[in-house]
A = this chain, B = another copy of it.
Amino acid sequence: MARIAIDMDNVMADLTQHLLDVYEQQYGVSIDPAALDNVPEGGAFPEGVAYKILQTPGFFRGIPVMKDSQEVIKALSEQHEIFVVSAAMEFPHSLTEKLAWLNEHFPFISWRNIVFCGAKTIVEADYMIDDHDKNLSTFKGKPLLFTAPHNLLLTDYRRVNNWKEVAEYFALDTAPVV
């Protein structure tokens, strides 16, 4: 049994899609998702707008679940020790929203296995599934880079493009997914 640290934003939660949707709702402008490729997060939006949207109460509560993440994480949790590790401290209002979101969409994850932090350097695990170089680069276990528009050119890590690939990596038998 391994300990697996799993990031929330852009890994369990489809933050990118939600940002595009909320931006379109609030500003009436549709951004082509391809415009986000190889651009730092928020860089495809007018300056300061993405950050402002992230600060809006309710934003994190309403993020859609990443495709296949529920089934695969459920299967992972039955064979391994999984911890949700989210850098939530930067957005204080996100704390209770993220906890409520997890309780709704991942009710099988105990509060004991949830970590809201700032820097992830303090996390000790065997695997870390994350979309950010800054989190994976200091990790002492095996890093898995979850594909996101901002990290497409990063070649330093074993990449997983979606949750089906995570299931394959851990050789999980997740019937509803495959």
Contact = CB atoms under 8 A, between A and B. Distances in A.
A126 to B, nearest CB: 11
B123 A118 contact: no
A119 B113 contact: yes
Contacts of A110: 118
- The secondary-structure label for the interface of chain A is mixed
How many copies of this kind of chain does the complex include? 2
B116 A117 contact: yes
A5 B96 CA distance: 23
B99 A96 contact: no
Interface in A99-156: 99-100, 110-119, 122-125, 140
Nearest to A115: B117
Interface of A: 3, 5, 83, 85, 88-90, 92-93, 95-96, 99-100, 110-119, 122-125, 140
26 contacts: A3-B122, A83-B122, A85-B122, A88-B116, A89-B111, A89-B112, A90-B111, A92-B96, A93-B96, A95-B99, A96-B96, A110-B118, A111-B118, A112-B118, A113-B119, A115-B115, A115-B116, A115-B117, A115-B118, A115-B122, A116-B116, A116-B117, A117-B117, A122-B124, A122-B125, A123-B123
